[in-house]
Amino acid sequence: MVCSEPSVCVKLVIVLDLIKSNPSLQAMSGLDAAFLYLEQPHMPMHVGSLCIFEGALKFDDFRLVLAQRMSKLRTFRQKLVNVPLSVDRPFWVDDPHFRLDDHLHHTALPAPGGWRELRRLCSRLFAQTLDRDRPLWEFVFVEGLNNIPQVPAQSTAIISKIHHAAIDGGSGNTIMSVLFDAQPIQPNGDAPEIKAAKPIPSDLELMAHSAADFVRRPFKLPSILLETARATLQSGTFSRVLRREMAVPFRAPHVPFNQPVDRSRLWNTAVLDLRRVKALKDLMKCTLNDVVLAICAGALRHYLLQRESLPEAPLVAMVPISTRKSTQRQDLGNQVDATLVELASQIEDPIERLCQIQRNMAHAKTNHKAANANLIMEYSELVPYGVAGQAARLYTRTELAKRHRPLFNCVITNVPGPRIPLYLAGHRMIASMGMAPIVDGVGLTIVVFSYGDLLTISPMSSPRVMPDLDVFARLLRESANELESAVQAHGAEAHGTD
């Protein structure tokens, strides 16, 4: 092929060479981009956390620790740059105008400084979208925790928000390992200078990089379809669906939290003793995740019974599964797959419900192992960014969530955290609780996080969907107690029989 305009060809070659030599330009995966085109003003797509620290941590010490470790957190210094006309996914680029103080906020709880005031603050902050003109994260430093049980007066909280396009649960743990210490170390010294970032790439660079990648994508489709067919046949998916041994999309029953969400958010948490939950796992010879799902299922059952809305068919939860390998622990971004699990919510007896969930999870794991765990990421690479964004907005405007059976009923994500105590500027972290987004049609997300000897189960919803989320948080604690009593009684009965 002969180029009729040599100067154009020369320019293209130069641009491609510039792209290759520009390490600050980082392509975004299709799965990461999905959290961008799903985001709308009423649906912020960040993940977050509430961490409580013992004692009066000083804001200046907190800021110094962040400044000293910012060089190890490149994702905190990267911003989005959009391809012209949104013909392709945005890119991550080092922000040449990055300022740490743009991402830090300082506030205090109103009197009496209790849990009610803290969760209201979290709910309000979690409802606010992040500024896409800056790196997609912010921390809020909260003083005046004076009236929270088992938390010393004058303690401090850090509320974090990081866009889901940048991290998942696994990479969130990586960030924690950088920010926090395993020993009470007092900060000292100055923050090192961060090397100035290169100028933001030009539109020509972005278009050339996008075009080169876009041309290769269609050639991936045949191999992805072939791998899908292989995995389906090997896993026996069709026969399992017919025998109802595995959940499938759009077969979940409709319940009150499967409707469009509003702009406000409600967030709460239930704090459990991890040792007691693990004891249930050991007695029932199942996994910790099985017990967690059973606790959530019990709370969902009682919540819907109180509202005379419990369906005969079991509720279905989407359960994310990390595909992160040991060699990828330091990689950020999203590396997850997902499976659907029936929660046996139609079963009244807590023990029978747990046993059924254990069987359902076993089937889901078998299917997941037989399949290529990266298929969801590979398919996401083929989705046109501009079209996907328009489709997401159209889905919201037409309120289609009201017009079809739910894809699934809720999201339950279980992220194992560190068992050892963590410290920030010499102050011990007492507890850590998670938060994840909700979307139209799936108005309930439950984040489970373990740290030390605590297990926190944190539901997120909106006033339009679950105005009484505080009741559901209480039901989570009651469900855990109900299951514990049933398991202990079952163990005593079995022991007496023996």
- Which class for 385: exposed (0-12), middle (13-18), buried (19 or more C-beta within 10 A)? buried
10 Å Cβ neighbour count for 225?
11
First to last CA, the chain: 83
For residue 335, what pLDDT is reported? Answer: 62
For residue 269, list its beta bridge partners. Answer: none
In order, the DSSP letters of 162-230 are EETTTB-HHHHHHHHHHHSBSS-PPP-S-PPPPPPPPPPPPHHHHHHHHHHHHHHGGGGHHHHHHHHHH
Residue 180 and residue 424 in contact, taking contact as beta carbons nearer than 8 Å:
yes
**Active site positions, annotated:** 164
457 vs 386 pLDDT, higher one: 457
For residue 297, what pLDDT is reported? Answer: 98
Among 186-195, 365-374, 447-456, the least confident range:
365-374
Residues 6+ apart with CB under 8 A from 120: none
For residue 79, list its beta bridge partners. Answer: 93
What integer is the mean pLDDT of 127-134? 96
Q: What does residue 165 show for φ and ψ, rounded to 5 degrees? A: -65, -20
Largest CA distance in the chain: 90
366 pLDDT more than 60: yes
DSSP 466: -
171 band by pLDDT with thresholds 50, 70 and 90: low
160 pLDDT more than 50: yes
24 band by pLDDT with thresholds 50, 70 and 90: low
For residue 265, what pLDDT is reported? Answer: 98
Q: Which residue has the tokens 């979307």?
A: 439
For residue 105, list its beta bridge partners. Answer: 140
Where is 158: in which H helix or E strand? strand 155-163
Domains of the chain: 11-195 (3.30.559.10), 209-414+436-497 (3.30.559.30)
Chain-wide mean pLDDT for the chain? 84
10 Å Cβ neighbour count for 105?
13
CA nearest 92: which of 171, 175, 197?
Answer: 197
For the stretch 249-302, pLDDT in tens is 778 999 999 999 999 999 999 999 999 999 999 999 999 999 999 999 999 999
Number of H helices, E strands in the chain: 14, 16
CA nearest 120: which of 152, 154, 159?
Answer: 159
Quote the CA–CA distance of 464 and 318 in Å, as a whole number: 21
Q: What is the pTM of this model?
A: 0.85
355 pLDDT more than 50: yes
224 band by pLDDT with thresholds 50, 70 and 90: very low
105 band by pLDDT with thresholds 50, 70 and 90: very high
For the stretch 440-470, pLDDT in tens is 999 999 999 999 999 999 999 999 999 999 9
Cα–Cα distances (Å) from 311 to 254, 314, 315, 347, 479, in that order, read 8, 7, 8, 11, 19
Alpha carbons within 13 angstroms on the beta-carbon side of residue 76 total 26
- Which class for 238: exposed (0-12), middle (13-18), buried (19 or more C-beta within 10 A)? exposed
244 pLDDT more than 70: no
What integer is the mean pLDDT of 113-118? 97
